[in-house]
Structure 1
Amino acid sequence: MNGYSGMFITFEGPDGSGKTTQIARVAEELARQGFPVMATREPGGTAISDKIRSIILDPENGEMADRTEVLLYAASRAQHVEEKILPALREGRIVLCDRFVDASMAYQAYGLGLSAEAVAAINRFATGGLVPDRTYLIDVPVAVTQERLAARAARHPALGLDRIEQKDAGYHGRVRESFQAIAAAEPERIRIVRGDRPPDEVFAELSGNCLSLLAKRVKR
């Protein structure tokens, strides 16, 4: 047993995969169907975690050491789990989270070339060993990532791209490959969803699978 009565569902994917938009749509659909749902994100989700997020993603912090990045993400996650995620799960809520530990493994361990064992250990400590019940990996090719990020920057020039999004195509390619490797290693937890399709098709697959999963696991 997990020690809680709710369900923890995470959404992962390369930058520009569309997962943030899809989480909002899935959360709305679950709420419409009567499920007690909470959507949140990482890094962030709490006042303390959001402050850490601003440090991590600020393009002006280009001198940030790779190990510092790992530890900041883990610190943000520790506060998020303790203050927001676990209380919601204990209340029996469905928690939809935009990124979790898989992102650290993909972006920091493999993207930056750091020790996967070290990154995993740091995050086990940060989360108290919390593992998602289901993870949806919205996968898009690197070319799509680059196109979507460029289009978004053009639409919102004042916002620009954050420190992670500004990294080169080689980095984003390693991130995508690592996500695929993580999914291959844990096929029962992680479901790959093609994100290079019309958003309505992606939503239909996500919401349909999610509702099917919840129907088996959660009592309303």
Structure 2
Amino acid sequence: GLNGARTSYFHQSIGGYHAAKPAGMQDLFDFHIYRNNLRVLNMLNVKYIIQQDEEGKKFAITNPEVNGNAWFIERLIEVQSTDEEIKALDSLDVVNEAVVNTVDFSQIDEFNFPKDSLASITLKEYKPNHLTYRTNNNNNGLAVFSEMYYPGDWKAYIDGKSVDHFKVNYVLRAMNIPSGEHTVEFKFEPKVIETGSKITLASSILMIILFLGGGVFSIFSLRKKKEG
């Protein structure tokens, strides 16, 4: 169930229990999912919905309107608060539109994007800490990714070059992608691990220096004894 301690094997799930459930996801449940807002399920890439018959038997139905892993949109809708952002999901056309809080992301100055009917964006590789997409678009576009937005530790790249991404639809990621074919990546690169790696490297170098210094000192002392 949505709040059960058990969830599906080998499948991602928006349900399940966790004492530290992300607040944004809990808000989506409270404001939209419990109220059967299918648009929100579509943007969360919910392909299957588990239901229960009169006898208590569970069965899965397919969601034919799911958005997929990522998609290009036509319009960004500007709001000025998180309350306005989550309320906008009531009537948002999640296939063609996205809503952004420009108080948090004031650098955004483009809100309309010509949509190429043949444009595509495909998830090529999925790992918990590394996502790889392939895009093809005749126009510059804005892509929405059905992944939770976590500022700071998740880094975005286009063709290996670091780029910015931002939050839309209260919880999801979005990124400007230039025309043509590109490889888009999200990598989980937490600062604490980067700092720890630098400390480990510095410690290793220091140990090597001390080891070599001790060896040189021993050789020098041995030579002095022989000369004496």
In which range does the TM-score fall when normalised by the shorter chain? under 0.3
Higher normalized contact order (CA 8 Å, seq sep 6+, divided by chain length): 1
TM-score normalised over the length of structure 1? 0.23
Higher helix fraction (1 or 2) = 1
Structure showing greater radius of gyration is: 2
Higher strand fraction (1 or 2) = 2
